[in-house]
Every structure is written in structure tokens, then in C-alpha cells.
Structure 1
């Protein structure tokens, strides 16, 4: 009986400890500017205590946030993906000045639409998050922007 209780306790502890952290949730939105232009908006909702890093990070720092848009014949990207202000700090862990986001981050990509049909623009965002005690491995998330 004691062995059974011990095994159950160890198993439960392992399950609870090994739960995967997922501190960032992504949402997409499209702001249609005209019949031929739109802005794709990717919003990251970040759990308290975690930091999502900028698209521009110095060498030997954390993995920067990056977007890869799947091309198709319905649109063209205009310029690079823009990001909000965020916070720029002298990070003691990475020993460098780094820009990061907490709570929420917005990234905007302007596109030129080639027709008036409804279609989806698919993208992948790669990012890394850290808190005061740990950094999680870089993660990729699929995004879909619905053009109507």
C-alpha cells in the first residue's frame, strides 16, 4: 500500500511539473485600408512575468521574433513587418540592451491586394519568451489572416 501511494505521488508530481508552458497566445486581424491595400495585424497576448523579444535583437541574444509569409498570387508584401514601442532595457541575463514586450505586442504587415476575392494569407511566427528565471525554447505558430 505504501508503495502504491509513493508511486502515485511521484507520478502526479512528474505530470504537474512537466506541463508545457505556453505563455503567448496569438490573434490575427485584417484592417482593410482600401480595395487594394490592407494591414495584417498579429497580436501576441503575453502572460504576466514573461517577455516576448523584438524582431531586432543583437547577436548572441535571445531568438528574435520573425514572420514568414506564405506567398500566393493574390497579394504582395509592402515593406517589412512593423512592431510596437515595447521596452528597451539593459538586460542583466544577456548582458546587452534588448527590446522586449510584456502583456501585449502588435506586429503589422502592409500588403497590396491583387483582386477583390476573399482568400487567406498564411504565415508562421517564430519567437522566444523568457521570465526572470527561465527562457523557453523558440516556438513556431501558424497564423491565418482572412481577407474578405
Structure 2
């Protein structure tokens, strides 16, 4: 039993390590006017790998998801925008046409500071995504993030 647990732990570590090597995330914010900030989540995807779009059809691969945690002084304005060279291709393994990105993708979200005085703070959340090559997929990965508003 001890050996089985050790093997499971080692395999889990390998998957997390492999995922981290295949996409590098950068989180940032840019101050706009009237207390607004543009949040940016940018993924640099390793060659031969792709990441599925937020617009991927249901019952297919896990699409990119971004969730911002509630903050009492920050209001989300509009929806998340996805930017990059989206590829639309039929994938036999899913028996459907899927949408994905190679090389890089950027997600932006506009937020507004609702407090009376601006102070340094962070907005937190999670991203969930799935990476594949033409021959294999990694399990969906969920990561926490924190973006400073200054």
C-alpha cells in the first residue's frame, strides 16, 4: 500500500511539473482612467502544445476558465476578452471541431475601483485550463493567481 501511495504522489508531481513547463503565465494590471484597471492574464505556450479556448464547445476538452474572487472595493466591468490566433480544427478524439491557441494567448478584464480612496490591493482568483499535443493531453490544471492594483 505504501508503494502505491508513493507512485501516485510521484505521478501527480510529474503531471504538475509537466504542465508548468508547457505554459508560463504572466499576470498584470494597467491603470486606465476613472479608477479603472485592465487586468491581463497572458499564457506563453510551449511548441507542439495547445490550450483550449474559452469558447470551446460543451462536451469537449476543458476550456480555459478564469474566475475572479469577490473583492469589496473592486467591480468587474463587462466580460473577459480572449486575444490570440485562434485555431479551429476537427479533433477525432473529441469527435468535434475545437478551438485552441498555440504559442500565446491573452485574456483581459476591465475592473473598476469603487472605494473613495485608492489603496494598493490585489485581486485574486483561479485559472483552469487543459493542454494537449497532437498525441496526448494533460489533465485539466487549476492555478491560483493574484494581480496587484497600484
Give the TM-score band, short-chain normalised. 0.7 to 0.9
Match of 2:52 in 1: 53
Deviation, 1:83, is 0.2
Q: Please list the CA deviations of residues 48-99 of structure 1 after superposition, one character each: whole Å capped at 9, or x if unmatched.
A: 1111001121122100110111111120001111101422222333222211
Match of 2:93 in 1: 93
Q: Please list the CA deviations of residues 93-140 of structure 1 after superposition, one character each: whole Å capped at 9, or x if unmatched.
A: 322221101111100111111131110000100000110111110001
Match of 2:3 in 1: none
Match of 1:125 in 2: 127
CA distance in structure 2 between the partners assigned to 1:48 and 1:133 by the alignment: 14
Q: Does 1:70 align with 2:72?
A: no
Match of 1:146 in 2: 148
How many residue pairs were aligned? Answer: 133
Q: Bigger CA drift: 89-98 or 102-111? A: 89-98
Unpaired runs of 5+ in structure 2?
Answer: 1-9
Q: Helix, strand or coil for the counterpart of 2:56?
A: coil
CA distance in structure 2 between the partners assigned to 1:83 and 1:145 by the alignment: 18
CA distance in structure 1 between the partners assigned to 2:31 and 2:99 by the alignment: 29
- Normalised by the length of structure 2, the TM-score is 0.82
Greater CA radius of gyration, 1 or 2?
A: 1
Alpha-carbon RMSD:
1.8
CA distance in structure 1 between the partners assigned to 2:14 and 2:76 by the alignment: 38
Flag as ranges the 4+ runs of structure 1 deviating above 4 A: none
CA distance in structure 1 between the partners assigned to 2:147 and 2:71 by the alignment: 13
